[in-house]
Amino acid sequence: MRLNEIRFTDALPIDGYGAGFFRIGGEAVDAPLIVSHRGVEAWGGYDDGEALLALAEGIDVLLVGTGPEIARLPAGLRDRLEAAGVGVETMASAQAARSFNILLAEGRRVAVALLPV
């Protein structure tokens, strides 16, 4: 059996999470936040659609972690993202963090926006 080391692209994987934070690159970062090829940045939640739209040129898919439970994105925000060519998938934040790591390890152009767990 051959084992391959996982190599991440420009973005850092999410190492863990807890109440109100995510651990990224060994550092605890308060949520809500965005992790992408641009690094880790604060996010203003659903009202901050511009921060998500700014990612459009560098990603193919955006995962949105909606907190402890899955929830729908506001329709206007989803419409704006899809009009910009961004595929959007919503799921609970813990699942979004795990899915982000998997897609990142596959070399996909992915970003994740996470609300607190």
Report the CATH number that the domain containing residue 110 is assigned in CATH.
3.40.1230.10
User: Which pTM value belongs to this model?
Assistant: 0.90
| 91 confidence band (pLDDT: 50, 70, 90) | very high
Q: Is 76 helix (H, G, I), strand (E, B) or coil?
A: helix
**37-64 mean pLDDT:** 96
| 11 confidence band (pLDDT: 50, 70, 90) | confident
Residue 72 within any structural domain of the chain: yes
Instruction: Find the DSSP H helices in the chain.
Output: 49-53, 75-83, 93-105
What is the number of domains present in the chain? Answer: 1
Residue 99 within any structural domain of the chain: yes
Is the bond preceding 13 in cis, omega lying within 30 degrees of 0? no
Provide the domain limits for residue 72: 14-114
Distance CA 84, CA 46 (A): 16
| 3 confidence band (pLDDT: 50, 70, 90) | very low
Residue 7 within any structural domain of the chain: no
Distance CA 115, CA 108 (A): 22
